[in-house]
Structure 1
Amino acid sequence: MSVDIVRLSQPARDRLVYLKRTTGITQWNVLCRWALLLSLKDASTPLVKDIVTDSNVEMSWKTFAGAHGDLYLALLKQRCVAIGEEPTDDNVQRILTVHLHRGIGYLGADKQMATIEGMVGAVVRV
């Protein structure tokens, strides 16, 4: 297993609190899944910076990924390979953290994504 615990920074937690209130989605893991996929959809490399995961929000990988843990893990490993990094446990954890936080930023920055319909529209192209 490459990831055991998913942790969030305080700013990410604050954005998720806002999103929970505006979307009606009450589970951290559901919002975090959307955020991860939204960031992975963007082919650009997130700005590399140290993210301090200092909030009181943490969840197990099983809670975060649910029944599709293997798929999320494969996507993270594929992103490692795509940027020329070995898909080691440390690299997968770092990619998860960076993309999760960028995705939360995307969700919090776009007023359209304050609704479930807006979130679906941002990820799925019809």
Structure 2
Amino acid sequence: MIVKHFKLSQPEKERLIRIKSKTGIQNWNILCRWALCWSLAEPTVPGGLDPLSDSNVEMDWSTFAGEYAEIYEAIIRQRCINDELGDDEKTCAKYFRLHLNRGINHYSARDVLQSCQDLLRSAVPKEEI
């Protein structure tokens, strides 16, 4: 397991609240899964520092990943290997949080999401639209 539990930063929480209002999706874990997957699909390595854990939104790995916990972990590990970062627990945990943060930031950008349909469109490769 990459992490047992994690807390979102206050800015991440505020961004997710805005995303929730635009999409109508009320579950933090579902929005976080979408954000993680969007970031993992990007070819670049997310940069920056680990986001602070200063909000009151805390999630267990099992709540975040649900029945697909092993799959999410394998994807994150493989992405770390592909990015030549290694796949030790500390590295995987760090890049999990960086990918999650990047995805949340993307979806909270002003013109990215206006509805749940925009969220669904983001899952389809651009050449298929």
Length-normalised TM-score, structure 2: 0.91
Give the whole-Å Cα distance in 2 for the aligned partners of 1:104 and 1:11: 10
Give the whole-Å Cα distance in 2 for the aligned partners of 1:71 and 1:90: 18
Bigger Cα displacement from structure 2, 16-25 vs 41-50: 41-50
The equivalent residue for 2:116 is 116
Offset from partner CA, 1:7-61 (integer Å, 9 cap, x none): 2111010000111112110000000000000011101111222421211111100
The equivalent residue for 1:75 is 75
Q: CA RMSD in A?
A: 1.2
Unaligned runs of 5+ in 1: none
The equivalent residue for 2:34 is 34
Unaligned runs of 5+ in 2: none
Counting aligned pairs with the same residue, the percent is 37
The equivalent residue for 1:24 is 24
SS in 2 for 1:113: coil
Give the whole-Å Cα distance in 1 for the aligned partners of 2:102 and 2:26: 20
Letter matched to residue 60 of structure 2: S
CA contact (8 A) 1:12 1:105 kept: yes
User: May I ask how many residue pairs the two structures share in their alignment?
Assistant: 126
CA contact (8 A) 2:23 2:119 kept: no
Give the whole-Å Cα distance in 2 for the aligned partners of 1:51 and 1:59: 15
Structure 1 residue 110, shift from structure 2 partner: 4.7
Letter matched to residue 91 of structure 2: N
Length-normalised TM-score, structure 1: 0.93
Mapped pair 1:12 → 2:12 = yes
